[in-house]
Chain A
Amino acid sequence: MVDVKPSDGQPGGHAGPLLQVTNLKKYFPVRSGLFSNVSAWVKAVDDVTFDIRPGETFGLVGESGCGKTTVGRTVLRLQEPTGGDVSFEGQDLFAMDAKTLRATRRRMQIVFQDPYSSLNPRMTVGSIVGEPLKVHHLAKGRDLTDRVCQLLNRVGLRPDHYPRYPHEFSGGQRQRIGIARALALNPKLIVCDEAVSALDVSIQAQIINLLKDLQAEYRLSYLFITHDLNVVQYLADRIAVMYLGKLAEVAPAATLFSDAKHPYTQALLSANPLPDPTVKHERILLPGDVPTPLNPPTGCRFHTRCPHVMEHCKTIDPPLIQIGKPEAGHKVWCHLYSG
């Protein structure tokens, strides 16, 4: 990585957000019957809009099953979308042919949650980290080995780990290998899907610090997906809260933690233990379970559990509402704030 300088200039002189996601939808078909006909749709992601700026960490939080992973994967077009647009560096990702897509993927990478299933058990660490360079014909022979060793070094592993197999490493080390692989192509955006959730707290801190260092060094943007509010609080510049396939609230990290507007965000924050246990805060207990995305509630998807539910919440989708000035970037989807 030493010979690759972080470049600030965008190809084609593109200015503005690095990634723009507009009305993204992803429905999974539920098939049944002899000829596998579609009998229903799982609305995993339904109309999600956000953007990520260069060098920014954008946190995406929400309970299990709300569609965070699906957002992350659809944004990289690892899954084909059902609807909506994603533009990366100003280019429409969903309109690209296979060749352009392959080239574009060099600048957007992913780090996975499970450090055990994200590395091929039958490949050496060296070939795992070197694979991106190899498939794009960026290096071969000695040059490839050298660059892989530099990458290993950069993420805190030793070059003599090169010929080892993944099962010989601990979870934290394996996550480093995954980061080295994502870093190999010198990307602009890395989607971290619960990248530290499977790790012990002390190891979590090390990996988070590594991610921060790398961000400063290469001016990376992260889409940081997690269910752990403490992690995003520490890491994210802006945070989006997701519920059942839709966004509930988007705000700068500090604003979200001090002045959450959406009832769901408030409930999430109240369930999160504060760093200072002497500070008393009231826990908002939500009634019921998360409904299934197979048959989501009409109107506001949160209305079945919302403590402030009103009659029209049950039928009318809440509109996007700006809290304060538009520059503040605090958006909420809730009828409480309309009018």
Chain B
Amino acid sequence: MTEDPKQYVEELPPSETPWQESLRLFRKDRLALVGAYVLVLLLFTAVFGKVLTEWVVVFDPEVVRLPEKFLPPLTFSSTDDVPAHDRPFGGIYLLGTDELGRDVFARMLQGSFVSLSIGFIAVGISLAIGILLGGLSGFYGNVRFGVVTVDTLIMRFTDVMLCFPTFFLILTVVALLPPSIYNIMIVIGLTSWMGTARFVRAEFLALRKQDFVVAATSVGARDRRVIFAHMVPNAIAPVLVSATIGVATAILTESGLSFLGFGVQPPYATWGNILADGKGFIFDAPWLFFIPGMAILVVVLAFNLVGEGLREALNPKLRRR
């Protein structure tokens, strides 16, 4: 050896993992950060909503108090009209009451859990299908079945699925199935995986050509290791982004279905059916319309902002080299 190896040593900046770096970039994005706070708040609301409306019933969304219908937000319950055990927590209707005198706050709480769980589970299903089909197509796409390749088969099927106007497909299916929250989750999931499949495939095709993936093969790594140790961690970032935005879409779809009366059935409250019930009283009791509408707007906006923020933060092109 002719040279002192120390001569190459340069001082490096403080260590930072790729995830830490993305987090730092994400924190710089004010709007995305606001969105993230809203989502954390929503998560807590949903969990507490589930607990407080169904397990330890503090806010009962199902109590009907006909004497106290159409009360605007922040009205106190009058002690004479309603029996003591039917009174709302603290004696106040935070978000008013509806046409049956039900506590809108309690109903919104219950609905937040329904909306969020539909969003997450539907997206979970669509991700599972999308990643599986996209990954197969991107990695084993050249395998042939007779005249067609796996890639052709999967991608043409994806194209066919994309041809249907999704919302009407869902509407038809939901109209035929017994109305249940699980059917809705599954149907939304089964009809929304195409985008994920397409870009997981594109991502895999691009990654396969990357030198570090070729290098893994050349040092003797098996397919399983190449896929899960090298390709998936590098393909996951855009999946995360689209999943975030996908949750928002699923929440909107569910609200739309409930609004049209095909979604989760009453008395179970969701933001969509609160909105649907409220639409008849838009001039007499605008809060019945306004509150769920705003909630949907804010949550969908928050998911989208977070999604966009993640897209920026995870974008390798913005990363310093």
Question: Does A168 belong to the interface (CB within 8 Å)?
Answer: yes
> What is the bound-complex CA distance between A109 and B214, given in angstroms?
11
Taking a contact as CB atoms under 8 Å apart, the answer to whether B9 and A105 are in contact is no
Q: Give the contacting residue for B219; candidates A105, A113, A213; CB below 8 A.
A: A105
Taking a contact as CB atoms under 8 Å apart, the answer to whether A105 and B218 are in contact is yes
User: B151-166 interface mask toward A, CB cutoff 8 Å, 1 = contact, 0 = none?
Assistant: 1100000000000000
Q: What's the nearest-Cβ distance from chain A to residue B226, in Å?
A: 10
User: A72-115 interface mask toward B, CB cutoff 8 Å, 1 = contact, 0 = none?
Assistant: 01001010000000000000000000000011011001101110
Question: Does A206 belong to the interface (CB within 8 Å)?
Answer: yes
Question: Does A14 belong to the interface (CB within 8 Å)?
Answer: no
Given A118-B212, A168-B12: A35 and B217 within 8 A (CB)? no
Taking a contact as CB atoms under 8 Å apart, the answer to whether B148 and A35 are in contact is yes
Segment among B14-22, B189-197, B246-254 that sits at the interface with chain A: B14-22
Q: Give the contacting residue for A213; candidates B1, B16, B148; CB below 8 A.
A: B1
Taking a contact as CB atoms under 8 Å apart, the answer to whether B230 and A156 are in contact is no
Question: Does A157 belong to the interface (CB within 8 Å)?
Answer: yes
Taking a contact as CB atoms under 8 Å apart, the answer to whether B319 and A167 are in contact is yes
Q: Give the contacting residue for A131; candidates B12, B149, B152, B219; CB below 8 A.
A: B219
Interface size of A by CB at 8 A reads 51
> What is the bound-complex CA distance between A213 and B5, given in angstroms?
12
User: A144-162 interface mask toward B, CB cutoff 8 Å, 1 = contact, 0 = none?
Assistant: 0000000001111110010
> What is the bound-complex CA distance between A206 and B277, given in angstroms?
75
> What is the bound-complex CA distance between A35 and B149, given in angstroms?
8
User: A281-315 interface mask toward B, CB cutoff 8 Å, 1 = contact, 0 = none?
Assistant: 00000000000000000000000000000000000
Residues of B within 8 A of A185 (CB): 219-220
Residues of A within 8 A of B (CB): 35-36, 73, 76, 78, 102-103, 105-106, 109-110, 112-114, 116-123, 131-132, 135-136, 153-158, 161, 163-165, 167-170, 172-173, 176, 178, 181, 184-185, 206, 209, 213, 217
Residues of B within 8 A of A (CB): 1-3, 5, 7-10, 12-13, 15-18, 21, 147-149, 151-152, 210-212, 214-222, 225, 229-230, 233-234, 316, 319-321
